Structure 1
Amino acid sequence: MHPMLKPALRRAWRDRQTVQFGVSPARAVVVSPVDTATGSFLELLDGTRGLPLLYEEARALDLSPGQVDALVERLTEAGVVDDPTGGGPAAQELRGRAAAFDRTRSDLASLSLVHPEPGEGARRLAARRSLKVQVRGAGRVGATIASVLAASGVGRVEVLDGGTVRPWDVAPGGLPERAVGERRGPAARQLVRGAAPDRPPRAGEADGPTGLSLIVVAPRDGLDVHAPDPVTGGEWVAAGIPHLYAGVVETTGLVGPLVLPGGTGCAGCLALERAERDPGWPRMLAQWRSGRRQSAVPPCDLALATAVAGLAAGHALAFLDGDLPASTGTRWEASLPSLGWRPRRLAPRLDCPCGAGGKSEGEHTSGSARSQDTMAR
């Protein structure tokens, strides 16, 4: 181990014996008491020295090896120490690809705070390369999600969509203006290749135990996110594939739910709940899906679409990294002009064949998190 104070945490002295690591309340850690010798020793924790060399240099500060071990352990438990050589073989291999590693250093800095164990941020960043995500939709929302996932180190990002790129599909971070008139599928693949920090892994290297780690459903028609198809969703549930919905319908942005097969409410649960609450809903939905009176250019505010894409990509990455984001079994909605995000929980239904309705609260979501974390390892 080569102990290093996490560069992502700004350091400041609150007083002569108290050091604060971090600025925001979410990550700030206060360490006290810190005497003069200990304060000087902190400067040695820059990741360039292993413990034997630290023992040697600490003697000049009248610190014994036992004191060094105790201090490093104390700082490690506080979550402020990283190991720039840790994270396992995949992390070491990532460091060896200098250009790709430099592209993701900001992501690594963030992950080192979210997962405070030494080397854990590097391990999780490297694990993204072995994952495969399918994004269904290459409009303003879907294409941006795909490019963010690829740029964040996800090994294979596949985008499915038909037709040609239209001028109103263009978005910063998404499809560029030069793609107008091209087929959406090839244009999206080129976008993903350009966003990725490195070449895609070899075939079979990013297939995971079930092929797909996650499907992100981000169709250009936001109605298919507001009222997702229970049949298609049921196929993913039966196949055990987690899937996340994201899109814009009229002036409302939607992120979620993240469906964990057998653990959270699904598209079928949502359809049953709406039909029970509003008997007229299925009739109206059938009319909307028929295409009558549909505008040639659907409303999709650029700022709202970008916000939805960013939040959805963040939730997808959190799940891929082994955590359960706030969209797990929950839909988040925000409407123009106020853009205040509000959650709507999707409760599993006993009368839905997905099987989630018979489980206790959190029973399968915790199990899915453990499974996903194991896959990332």
Structure 2
Amino acid sequence: MHPTLKPALRRGWRDLSTVQFGVAPAHALVLGPMDTATGSFLSLLDGTRGLPLLREEGKRMGLPDGHVDKLLGELSRAGLLDDSTGGGPAADALRKRSGPMDRLQADLASLSLVSSEPGEAIEKLAARRTMRVRVQGAGRVGAVVASVLAGAGVGHVEVLDGGHVEPWDVAPGGHPADAIGQRRDTSARRLVRQSAPDRPARPAPPEPPSAPLRQTRRSRQPSTQEGGVGLSLVIIAPRDGLDAYAPDPTATEALLAAGTPHLYAGVIEGTGVVGPLVLPGSSACAGCLFRQRADRDPTWARMLAQWRSGRARHVPSCDLALSTSAAGLAAGHALAFLDGVSSACAGARWEASVPGFDWHSRPVWPHPACPCGASTPVKGDRLTTAMDQHATMAG
């Protein structure tokens, strides 16, 4: 182990014996009391020294026996310590690729803030390279989501859509202006290749459908059944925002049957929508969403049938700033899920509208009449079990 203080957190002395790590309250910590010699020793935790050398340096600085190990233990428990050589073989292979690592340094620093164990952040980053994600829809939202995921190190990002790029599909981070008239899926796939830091690692072969899922704290096993073969996640980002706001439950029957997690995102009439993240059998699905709304509004089914059958042929109201915001939020929740973090989109949907852009969450509960089974009582924590089955740390 080569300990290093997490470089993402700025360090400063609150007084002569108290050190604050971090500026923003979400991740800031205060540690003390700390003497001057110990404070000076902190500067040696830069990842270039192993434990034996650090102990020797501590003795030269007059620190008592065992003080270095005690300090490192406290820093580790506080989540302030990383390991510049940790993360396993996949992380070592990623470190050797200097070009991609330079591109991913900012993402690695961010991951370190939500990773408590030394070496865990780069382990997650390396695991992303083996992930396979499918984005269904390549409009202003879907194309940007795909490029962000690829740029953040997700190794295999597939994009599905039909038709050709229209002038109103063009967006920063999405389809460029020179793609107008080209096939949407072709343009989006080129965008993914251009956004990726490097060529992805080869994915592990999927297990046979009959093999049980290995449940470990951080191992995400992709689905191997029809509708989601080898997929870690599907993001449904339709160009018609109605299909994100009020998704058709029949459109995801194959994903539910395969146990493939999927997340909705889109923009309809100046309102951005992200969620819910559906963990099949564990959290609310599109069918639950429909039934929940129909319970509150008896005319919902009738209105929805009219909206779906009378699709207007006009340019959709998809504000560029709002669509970019929705794409960023969707990509962020997707990455958190892939990294094995409990997502705020599981069992909830986030909405924001122009001109306020005030994102707020609306709960989506499992409906007892929905055949997805999410409302069925089970022993233990069903949601936690589903997250464990799909956690994304390699090995």
Q: Deviations over 1:272-298 (max 9, x none)?
A: 222232222222212211235x14211
Contact 2:143 2:174 in 1 (8 A): yes
- Residue 176 of structure 2 is matched in structure 1 by 176
2:118 match:
118
- Within a 5 Å distance, the mapping from 1:187-202 to structure 2 comes to 187-202=187-202
State the partner residue of 1:161. Answer: 161
What is the distance in 1 between the residues matched to 2:95 and 2:112? 15
- 1:112-160 C-alpha deviation (Å, 9 max, x unpaired): 1111211111111111111100000000000000000000000100000
Contact 2:234-2:260 within 8 A present in 1 as well: yes
* Residue 375 (structure 2) aligns with: 357
* Residue identity in the other structure for 2:113: L
- Whether 2:259 is the aligned partner of 1:218: answer no
| Structure 2, unpaired ranges of 5+ | 208-220, 224-229
Report which stretch shifted further, 355-364 or 29-38: 355-364
What does 1:286-305 correspond to in 2, within 5 Å? 286-292=305-311, 294-305=312-323
Deviates more, 1:283-292 or 1:222-231: 283-292
1:66-81 to 2 correspondences below 5 Å: 66-81=66-81
For the structure 1 residues 367 and 288, does the alpha-carbon distance in structure 2 shift closer, same or farther, using more than 3 Å as the test?
Answer: same
CA deviation after TM superposition for structure 1 residue 374, in Å:
6.0
Q: Does 1:320 align with 2:327?
A: no
Question: In the aligned structure 1, how far is the partner of 2:359 from the partner of 2:379?
Answer: 24
CA contact (8 A) 1:58 1:68 kept: yes
Give CA deviations for 1:48-78 in whole Å, capped at 9, x if unaligned. Answer: 0001111222221112441111111111112
Give 2:364's match in structure 1, choosing from 333, 339, 346.
346
271-280 or 358-367: bigger deviation: 358-367
CA distance, structure 1, for counterparts of residue 178 and residue 277 of structure 2: 33
Partner amino acid, structure 1, of 2:250: V
Offset, 1:205: 6.2
Provide the rounded CA distance (Å) in 2 between the counterparts of 1:113 and 1:319.
16
Structure 2 distance, partners of 1:6, 1:134, is: 33
Quote the residue 2:96 is aligned against: 96
1:67-121: CA deviation from partner (whole Å, max 9, x where unpaired): 1111111111121111010011111111011101111100100111111211111
* Inter-partner Cα distance in structure 2 for 1:119 and 1:200: 21
Structure 2 residue identity aligned to 1:26: A
Q: CA deviation at 1:362?
A: 8.3
| Residues 7-46 of structure 1: per-residue CA shift (max 9 Å, x gap) | 1110001111111110111111111111121112111111
Q: Does 1:261 align with 2:280?
A: yes
> Taking structure 1 as the reference length, what is the TM-score of the superposition?
0.96
Partner of 1:300, secondary structure, is: coil
TM-score scaled by length of structure 2: 0.92
Identical residues among aligned pairs (%): 62
Classify 1:361/1:218 alpha carbon distance in 2 versus 1 (closer, same or farther; 3 Å).
Answer: farther
Residues matched between the structures, number: 376
> Contact conserved, 1:233 with 1:266, CA < 8 A, in 2?
no
Q: Distance in 1 between matches of 2:329 and 2:365?
A: 22
Query: Do the aligned partners of residues 75 and 134 (structure 1) sit closer, same or farther apart at CA in structure 2, a change above 3 Å counting?
Result: same
What one-letter code is carried by the residue in structure 2 that aligns with 1:285? L
Aligned pair partner of 1:283 in 299, 302, 309: 302
Question: Following the alignment from structure 2 to structure 1, what is the Cα–Cα distance between the partners of residues 41 and 47?
Answer: 13
Out of 274, 285, 288, the residue aligned to residue 293 of structure 2 is: 274
Root-mean-square deviation (CA), in Å? 1.7
Deviation at 1:234, TM superposition (A): 2.4
Unpaired stretches in structure 1, ≥5 consecutive residues: none
- Are 1:229 and 2:248 matched, yes or no? yes
Counterpart secondary structure, 1:85:
coil
Look up the equivalent residue of 1:277 and give its one-letter code: R
Mapped to 2, the partners of 1:235 and 1:205 lie a distance apart of: 21
Displacement of 1:179:
0.7
The 3-state SS of whatever aligns with 1:333 is: strand
Deviations 1:151-196 (A, max 9, x none): 0000100000000000100000111111111001111100000000
**Is the Cα–Cα contact under 8 Å of residues 127 and 392 in structure 2 kept in the other structure?**
no
Residues of 1 paired with 2:267 and 2:107: CA distance? Answer: 27
Partner of 1:36: 36
- Counterparts of 1:41-56 in structure 2 under 5 Å? 41-56=41-56
Structure holding more helix per residue? 1
C-alpha distance in structure 2 between counterparts of 1:182 and 1:359, whole Å: 49
| Distance (whole Å) between structure 2 residues aligned to residue 206 and residue 82 of structure 1 | 32
**Aligned pair 1:243/2:249, yes or no?**
no
